Amino acid sequence: MKKANKKIAFVIPCLNEESNILKIYHSLSKEKISFKKKYNFEFIFIDNYSTDNTKKILRELAKKDKSVKVIFNNRNYGPVRSPYYGLLASDANATILIAADFQEPPSLVKDFICHWESDNFKIVLGSKYNSEESIIMKTIRRKYYDFINSISDIPLEKNVTGFGLYDKDVLDQLRIIDDPYPYFRGLICELGYSRKLVFYKQNKRRSGVSKATFYGMFDQSLLAMTKHSKLPIRIMTISGLFFGFGSLLISIIFLILKFIYWDYFALGISPILIGMFFIASIQFFFLGILGEYVGSILTHNRKLPHVIEEERINF
């Protein structure tokens, strides 16, 4: 009896990508030709509540090709939850996550599959060695990765976006973890599965408008910190002890000086006010960090679904 072919799925998150949907579909279809005899392929498009013609195009595509599966979200769930849910919707032996905007080259799919099937890597990640971003943006990203790695409990891969191949075992483990708002790039490193990096130059978006925002990147950095580092909490504890001891020491010194030079040593209100404002600013900063950790815990404990589907096709 002939053994059934293994299955590989392409997961393609999209939001207002009407000009890219068919292009990415045809491009990936070309890349899979050399593996067609060995593997069965399917496409999983997850639409994050597009407001252009993306939905219409996906419906028509799914009608023509039954290997195209589509998930429509009932609202925009952001750049974290929607792609993650798309990955978990795959039951393939290997799943490749790729954006629809062509900034991540489809030509790397062959390398991903070869490293997975020949070298037995459970995770194969695309890592940007260069991009067409501005120098300012490149510098911000480099400093961001340096900062996150400096405080993280585990070393995280630099310049990865999630673009890559994931073995079924990896996705099964992610389902067990069931994190409603994961920092995906950190989570895959946390799992400890064998990884391979494939380097590429990030292209410019072919068409459409980028969905990346400064707030989104800021949210990702805070998410990385709260999910994968205890260092800020420990800094707060150590700082509290340090400032407490320092305040006590200064108070004793001032008291001694006052007793020695009772008639000449005038404290005044200025140093008291400066000290109060300084301590208050430190407290507010630490309260903000603490609030991020508490918010992360609340989000996890609420156990909300990653997304709520409006419709799915061809599943």
Q: What count of Cα atoms within 13 Å lies in the side-chain half-sphere of residue 279? A: 13
The answer as to whether 251 is a domain residue is: no
Nearest one of 78, 93, 92 to 46, comparing CA atoms = 78
The answer as to whether 297 is a domain residue is: no
More confident residue, 162 or 291: 162
- The domain that contains 211 carries what CATH number? 3.90.550.10
- The pLDDT tens digits of the residues spanning 109-138 come to 999 999 999 999 999 999 998 877 778 877
The answer as to whether 56 is a domain residue is: yes
The answer as to whether 265 is a domain residue is: no
The answer as to whether 180 is a domain residue is: yes
Cβ atoms 289, 236 nearer than 8 A: yes
Nearest one of 43, 38, 48, 47 to 25, comparing CA atoms = 43
**Residue at 244: amino acid letter:** G
Coil, helix or strand at residue 146 = helix
The answer as to whether 259 is a domain residue is: no
The whole domain housing 142 covers 7-229+303-313
| Domains: count for the chain | 1
The answer as to whether 92 is a domain residue is: yes
- The pLDDT tens digits of the residues spanning 225-256 come to 677 666 777 777 777 777 767 777 777 777 78
The answer as to whether 222 is a domain residue is: yes
Percent above pLDDT 90 for the chain: 47
Q: Residue 76 carries which DSSP code?
A: -
